[in-house]
Chain A
Amino acid sequence: MSVIAIAVAAESGVPIFSRKRGNNDNIQFSTIASLHGINMFTKCHNLSLLNTKVDNGTILWKEYCKSITLIGIATGGLESDLELLLSCIYDAMVFFIGKKELENLKNIDQIKRDLRQCYPIIDYLLESLDPNSLPRSMIILDSIQSILCPQAQQLQLVLDNYAQNVTGRWACLSIHGHLVATSSDFCELDAREARLLLLLAAAQDGIPLRDTLIYLPLMSPNVAFRAVTCKLLADVYVLVICGATPPLSQIDEIVLQCWEGYAQIIKEAKLVYPRNFPMTISFDPALIGVLVVNINKRRCVFSRHLHGSNQKSRSMSGVHRIDILRTFFITSARDLAPELKIEGDDKDIINGTLSEMYWCSEYHKCHAQRSGNYLCCALYAPSVPNHTMRFLTNQILQDISTNKEVFW
């Protein structure tokens, strides 16, 4: 039950960092050296070791920009996402120090030091593969956890205005680490970049206003931008990407100007948490957890508090519900959305067009259905018959796609 991620310099074999989660010992230097050695050795023989399976786990080598080798070891049932995890870790590395630095690897000690700032983000990423922990900010690696609230449309105007004022672009608002509202140009950012931005805010928890030099792994891996995170209320952050100007002190004033009048709206939006769905979307009492994924936008909404506060005395803890839905999505339901698969990862592709899927276990039932751009994974009590399950999930999907208060 562990996840380990190791980065080594591909040529020299110098270990850059190693992060782990789970109940295993720290990885020793000699082990890292051996692991790297295996990769080097096979490369010499014109053979590349793509993937190694162990019981209930996977060992993976991945080389990025010919200079960095990431080695991942995961056990515990969610190992199918290991390749995705490694690519996310690489993105995080580029995010902080830029692609050029990683390609050249001139001053390895300096790079090691620089990369320290991405440890918190890497740790967040590792969480999402650890079956024993409740991820704080990311349940699934390939989509951004969001809140659907009716205020999003209004907030978008504010965000657009704010971005304009700081002469920046791509602004968004996060509550409890969930994406709530975005500026209208935010969709230009790749989901991977947007996710890193949100993680950045989560990692800098508690600091009222801060700017960080960042590289956008896909859009501009070599030219740095400035990401400004600003705490508006408790657990509420506004993020924007801008150039070198204006200085932080000026931004402080702009924030005040732009957001002063919207505190009430933000507070209203905050109330949607932890249900995460607008109150106009109602759920059947048989439903005990739901995960809706917007496939194109790579955003997901998870909720386990579907029925207000009066029904808390369910047998299953909330953490467990997240865990079940997450495991269901990662191991099975993702097959419903082949778009989400990483390129070249066709090892367990299923012939044919999937449209629904379910799991029955002794304590719960999971059902997933896809309708157009939406994928809904729902968790039910074990007593719910299959056909009811299908009907209810279908209804949720229809609700989500027709409801006027849903604003992605």
Chain B
Amino acid sequence: MNTFKNKINYESPCDSDNDWTNSSEDSKYSDSESSVPEWDSDVGDDGELVYMKIKSITKPVDDSNTPLLENCEAFKLRSDFKRSSTRRSTKGRIFKVLKKRKVINKDNGNEKKKEFEDNNKFVIIQVSKSMIFSSEKNCQIEKLFGISLETHKDGKTLVVSDFLPESKAIYTPKVKTGFYLQKINGIEVTSYNINNVLQRVIEDVDNPKLTFQVVTEGYNLDIEKLLTSKSAPENSLTQMLKDAMFSVLYICCNDVEYQTNDDKGVLYCFPRPFNQNFLYNTRGAYLTLNHLAPKSLGTSEPTISTVLHKNQLINITYASQYSDLLLVAIPCGDIDVFAAKRIIAEIVRLLEFLYGSLKTCFTKPNNVDKLDSLFSRIFVTLLNESINKNKDMQCSVHGSLYFEELLAAQAMSLPLEVKLQVDDAITELEAADYREWIDDVESFQRLYTVLGACLYYSGHLLSSHLQDEDLKEVNAYLKLNGILKLSSEKDIEKLVIWKEVFINEHRNQNKNDGNENRIPDGRWFILVVGKGHFILATLMEAGGCTEDAVGVTPPSPFYVEECESCLELLFDVGLNKYLPSWLVSNTQPQIETRPEYLTKHGRKIKEASSKIDLRSSSKLTKSQPDIKKRHNSTEQINMGSTSDNSINNYHSTSQHNLYAQWYNGPIKQYRHSSLDVSYSEDSGSLKSNSEVSEDRIVGRRADREKNRRDSSESDSDWDKQDGSRSSNIDMSEMRKSLLDELNNVTAHRITAGDENVLFHFVHLESVKGILLAPVKNIETQANNLLYSHIIKTFRSAAKKIHELLQHSIKFKRSDTPSNPLNKILVAVKEYGMLFEAPSEILNQCGISKKSCEPFYFWVVGRVFSDPEPRELYLCYHESVPQDLIEVSYLLSYLE
């Protein structure tokens, strides 16, 4: 047996019944405890693992420390281990570093972080000086900052009581009502000195900085804790879910084996106790209905019931399989019928993915705690979203779950070069080409075959190499467990999840099928690895050509490292720097986030503001991409950023315009250095460069990143690093190519007409489980009341359109004419609605009543049935009629 085989044995616990870590001590490759991965102690008895470390929000110490660590010997060795570096230099030998894998003492870091978390958190918001909010009360604070304050009981502290509508987007979700306003521009404020401070703010030229003290009240819905905890959810949480009327019930109806069950076939119920669960108490009604409808009424089985209980509307969703019935109760209001229908489908999909079938899910012994925590995670995720969204938007009670988020995985359209980089990284992982790792490839058998992987960034799907059905299931898994949400809100330091799953293809395979190409009877695992805002989910197969997995199968550190290095590669390429800027670039396709500019009056404002922008060149506003395209001709795909535009002329020295907006002063220096770079294959320099690039972020983007992390002092960190490291810049091939790509970034427009009239779009490929839409935080980016109104309208209208278009899709899918479908509804291909924006909102957006022509916008949805159903939803200003077929055509060029 060669050495590699041995190594694998050590990795694979199935060879020994005893604890896996013990066996590793015998291994000749583990010279010390350092080879034990940090997540090792978190592996459960069943081999499953959820390990997570979130970067603390306020952690100036950590930030400055991390790069320094690199200088020490250990870290260098570690970075040598990088998969990317091994690939690119044949020098890299893996085994010597395998030993040194775990050197950084994690305990120190952890302690520090805890301190920060436990202390009072602070949120800093910078308010643009140019913004003047309309205050009814003519209150100075409201005018300047767009918030209204009240005095705390102590008579001194200022408490945020409300936000003005326009300012809402600036503050939420970071600042909530009830937070204390602590400092303005670093000066402590109380009710006594507030007026003086305000006076100073008015005189000051700089944008005021507000520091809020976070006040946590009530039970904190912490999805991180829920994800990592192995025990059943706490009582307080269960009670809260019970009060919110969330509930699950699984009933096995006429099965002989469960007749003895005391609960008459109820196999699972959450939250418990049984007799306090309203769903349990009224289960008879749903059961009867579920039987009656198909048998006696000639309809299909019920899908959803709306009930009123304790003055609360609740949607009860049905999922029946054979004679069993799964009921999930979801409180209405936040989650409407449309959303509830999709959620139950996702829950069923998730349970089947995790357990093979609903039956095994609820009959598996000792599974109750797991299911409890799974469902509490699902419900908390739903609850969190609805709470957040309700706070974001006033008065929207119905269906606050976004249309886009319910239907499929939201993909991001990337420039081709970037897409290639991403795909390349994932393909490398999937290829599992270990020739460089060991000389004797032939004689080692792998533990797993990688079936495919998908990569998310901040909740957006970047790339998927999974089968369509698998992607849907993986997406359901990540979404319902709140992992996607977490990855977009927090900066993940390390996330490792390992779980056995049952892939769709195997579940639906006919057991007696003699087909040669049938997939092997193996076992499948999902490995989720996260770093930063990236989430990489990989499906692995054991069986067939790999070693069979027997018994309890904990994650193999080797494969975890593989996935981690895949993410590392993306970091090395600089994708972690590139994507945030891409997310705010609003280029592919460009959408109009200042709808009022499309009115006669708005055009005037626009012209005026573009002049101001020119003058105050250092303070470019976010709306800048929109200002660009006025002079463009009727070309539909046009080069937005490089067009004859005054602001770009200002930056004419810089070629890559994506960054140009943010790198103002330092840009030239940066470009010089990047021109000087010498291409180097040396892995060390590659690493250092990717670190260095971090230092280069100053100016606007630094501000933005700082804002995103809610961090106060990081600003100064950048500066510090800047000074210390600017000297040794080096550039790798990949980095270079990515920057080249940035040069070519163009803003695309998919609507016809001189002006960009597109407000929002959703392109849904339901078969693939993918949809394309503007980035999720577009509303916050736009920070515009009218735009928010338009988006809200779009979402509610799109739900209705989607429901109608399903008739046509269903009809095309089913060949049986007996299906009771309305023949008129199935013929509808396109459904459009014209809305008028209310004049109050127009007034608030600065369009005065006199010059106010009505503001109309269309929400149109269309289904394209060939070759597989695709749906396109558009929201655009009424001034230019659009042909959805053309728009869809243009959109397809972007993908």
Docked Cα-Cα span, A102 to B309, in Å, equals 27
Q: Taking CB as reference atom, which chain A residue is nearest B289?
A: A38
Chain A 68-102, CB within 8 Å of chain B: the 1/0 string? 00000101111000000000000000000000000
Q: How far is the CB of A393 from chain B (nearest CB, A)?
A: 11
B288 within 8 A of A: yes
Docked Cα-Cα span, A239 to B435, in Å, equals 95
A353 proximity list for chain B (CB < 8 A): 835-838
Indicate if the CB atoms of A52 and B305 lie closer than 8 Å.
Answer: yes
A161 proximity list for chain B (CB < 8 A): none
A76, A131, A324, A361 — most chain B CB neighbours (10 Å): A361
Known: A332-B831, A350-B793, A357-B834. A49 touches B285 (CB 8 A): yes
Please pick, from A4, A45, A348, the residue contacting B282 in the complex, using a CB distance under 8 A.
A45
Indicate if the CB atoms of B310 and A347 lie closer than 8 Å.
Answer: no
Please pick, from B820, B828, B834, the residue contacting A354 in the complex, using a CB distance under 8 A.
B834
In A330-355, the 8 Å CB interface with B consists of: 331-332, 335, 346-355
Indicate if the CB atoms of B308 and A47 lie closer than 8 Å.
Answer: yes
Indicate if the CB atoms of A52 and B302 lie closer than 8 Å.
Answer: yes
One of B169-177, B457-465, B482-490, B796-804 at the interface:
B796-804
B281 within 8 A of A: yes
Give me 6 other A-B pairs in contact (C-beta within 8 A), A49-B285, A357-B834 excluded: A30-B296, A53-B305, A59-B299, A78-B822, A353-B836, A360-B831
B436 within 8 A of A: no
Please pick, from A324, A352, A386, the residue contacting B881 in the complex, using a CB distance under 8 A.
A386
Docked Cα-Cα span, A353 to B804, in Å, equals 20
B293 proximity list for chain A (CB < 8 A): 54, 59
Indicate if the CB atoms of B299 and A54 lie closer than 8 Å.
Answer: yes
Indicate if the CB atoms of B302 and A352 lie closer than 8 Å.
Answer: no
Indicate if the CB atoms of A56 and B821 lie closer than 8 Å.
Answer: yes
9 contacts between A and B (CB under 8 A): A38-B284, A47-B308, A51-B305, A52-B289, A53-B303, A348-B338, A348-B799, A350-B796, A387-B881
Please pick, from B308, B827, B834, B881, the residue contacting A362 in the complex, using a CB distance under 8 A.
B827
Indicate if the CB atoms of B298 and A24 lie closer than 8 Å.
Answer: yes
Which chain B residues have a beta carbon within 8 Å of chain A's beta carbons? 278, 281-282, 284-285, 288-289, 292-293, 296-310, 313, 336-338, 396, 398, 789, 792-793, 796-797, 799-800, 804, 807, 820-825, 827-838, 856, 862, 881
A77 proximity list for chain B (CB < 8 A): 807, 821-822, 824-825
Indicate if the CB atoms of A73 and B821 lie closer than 8 Å.
Answer: no
Known: A50-B308, A355-B836. A360 touches B881 (CB 8 A): no
A358 within 8 A of B: yes
Q: Taking CB as reference atom, which chain B residue is nearest A325?
A: B824
Q: How far is the CB of A361 from chain B (nearest CB, A)?
A: 4
Indicate if the CB atoms of A356 and B297 lie closer than 8 Å.
Answer: no
B297 proximity list for chain A (CB < 8 A): 4, 24, 27, 31, 59, 73
Indicate if the CB atoms of A59 and B289 lie closer than 8 Å.
Answer: yes
Indicate if the CB atoms of A354 and B833 lie closer than 8 Å.
Answer: yes
Docked Cα-Cα span, A360 to B824, in Å, equals 11
Interface of B, secondary structure class, is mixed
Q: Which 9 A-B pairs have the closest CB atoms?
A: A77-B822, A361-B827, A55-B300, A352-B793, A356-B834, A360-B830, A31-B296, A52-B305, A54-B299
Docked Cα-Cα span, A42 to B338, in Å, equals 24
Please pick, from A57, A332, A363, the residue contacting B300 in the complex, using a CB distance under 8 A.
A57
A327 within 8 A of B: yes
Q: Taking CB as reference atom, which chain A residue is nearest B281?
A: A45
Please pick, from A328, A346, A357, the residue contacting B832 in the complex, using a CB distance under 8 A.
A357
Indicate if the CB atoms of B285 and A38 lie closer than 8 Å.
Answer: yes
Docked Cα-Cα span, A30 to B309, in Å, equals 27
B296 proximity list for chain A (CB < 8 A): 27-28, 30-31, 34
A2 within 8 A of B: yes
Indicate if the CB atoms of B337 and A53 lie closer than 8 Å.
Answer: yes
Docked Cα-Cα span, A363 to B298, in Å, equals 30
Docked Cα-Cα span, A75 to B822, in Å, equals 9
Indicate if the CB atoms of A354 and B835 lie closer than 8 Å.
Answer: yes
Q: Taking CB as reference atom, which chain B residue is nearest A24?
A: B298
Docked Cα-Cα span, A55 to B293, in Å, equals 11
Docked Cα-Cα span, A52 to B314, in Å, equals 12
- Total number of residue pairs linking A and B with CB closer than 8 Å: 186
Docked Cα-Cα span, A131 to B434, in Å, equals 64
A403 within 8 A of B: no
Q: How far is the CB of A344 from chain B (nearest CB, A)?
A: 11
A262 within 8 A of B: no
Docked Cα-Cα span, A45 to B275, in Å, equals 12
Q: Taking CB as reference atom, which chain B residue is nearest A28?
A: B296
Q: How far is the CB of A262 from chain B (nearest CB, A)?
A: 41
Q: How far is the CB of B298 from chain A (nearest CB, A)?
A: 4
Q: How far is the CB of B481 from chain A (nearest CB, A)?
A: 28
Q: How far is the CB of A382 from chain B (nearest CB, A)?
A: 10
Q: How far is the CB of A338 from chain B (nearest CB, A)?
A: 13
Indicate if the CB atoms of B835 and A37 lie closer than 8 Å.
Answer: no
Chain A 117-136, CB within 8 Å of chain B: the 1/0 string? 00000000000000100000
Chain A 305-335, CB within 8 Å of chain B: the 1/0 string? 0000000000000000001100110011001
Q: Taking CB as reference atom, which chain B residue is nearest A1?
A: B820
Q: How far is the CB of A25 from chain B (nearest CB, A)?
A: 7
Docked Cα-Cα span, A352 to B856, in Å, equals 11
Q: Taking CB as reference atom, which chain B residue is nearest A352?
A: B793
B396, B792, B828 — most chain A CB neighbours (10 Å): B828
Q: How far is the CB of A392 from chain B (nearest CB, A)?
A: 15
Q: How far is the CB of B396 from chain A (nearest CB, A)?
A: 7
A48 within 8 A of B: yes
Please pick, from B292, B302, B804, the residue contacting A34 in the complex, using a CB distance under 8 A.
B292
A250 within 8 A of B: no
A191 within 8 A of B: no
A31 proximity list for chain B (CB < 8 A): 292, 296-297
Docked Cα-Cα span, A154 to B288, in Å, equals 59
A34 proximity list for chain B (CB < 8 A): 288, 292, 296
Docked Cα-Cα span, A348 to B301, in Å, equals 22
Indicate if the CB atoms of B833 and A357 lie closer than 8 Å.
Answer: yes
Q: Taking CB as reference atom, which chain A residue is nearest B825?
A: A77
A295 within 8 A of B: no
Known: A76-B822, A356-B834. A350 touches B800 (CB 8 A): yes
Docked Cα-Cα span, A208 to B794, in Å, equals 55
Please pick, from A47, A332, A364, the residue contacting B309 in the complex, using a CB distance under 8 A.
A47
Indicate if the CB atoms of A50 and B285 lie closer than 8 Å.
Answer: no
A28 proximity list for chain B (CB < 8 A): 296
Please pick, from B282, B313, B821, the residue contacting A42 in the complex, using a CB distance under 8 A.
B282
A56 proximity list for chain B (CB < 8 A): 300, 820-822
Indicate if the CB atoms of A323 and B824 lie closer than 8 Å.
Answer: yes
Q: Taking CB as reference atom, which chain B residue is nearest A358?
A: B832
A41 proximity list for chain B (CB < 8 A): 282, 284-285
Docked Cα-Cα span, A350 to B796, in Å, equals 6
A264 within 8 A of B: no
Please pick, from B302, B792, B797, B821, the residue contacting A59 in the complex, using a CB distance under 8 A.
B302
B292 proximity list for chain A (CB < 8 A): 31, 34-35, 38
Indicate if the CB atoms of B836 and A38 lie closer than 8 Å.
Answer: no
Indicate if the CB atoms of A54 and B834 lie closer than 8 Å.
Answer: no
A357 proximity list for chain B (CB < 8 A): 831-834
Q: How far is the CB of A312 from chain B (nearest CB, A)?
A: 22
Docked Cα-Cα span, A348 to B337, in Å, equals 9
Indicate if the CB atoms of B306 and A50 lie closer than 8 Å.
Answer: yes
Q: How far is the CB of B845 from chain A (nearest CB, A)?
A: 15
Q: How far is the CB of A256 from chain B (nearest CB, A)?
A: 47
B831 proximity list for chain A (CB < 8 A): 332, 357-360
Docked Cα-Cα span, A355 to B833, in Å, equals 8
Q: How far is the CB of B301 from chain A (nearest CB, A)?
A: 7
B304 proximity list for chain A (CB < 8 A): 52-53
A12 within 8 A of B: no
Indicate if the CB atoms of B289 and A360 lie closer than 8 Å.
Answer: no
Q: Taking CB as reference atom, which chain A residue is nearest B287?
A: A38
Q: Taking CB as reference atom, which chain A residue is nearest B298?
A: A24
A110 proximity list for chain B (CB < 8 A): none
B302 proximity list for chain A (CB < 8 A): 52-54, 59
B792 proximity list for chain A (CB < 8 A): 351-352
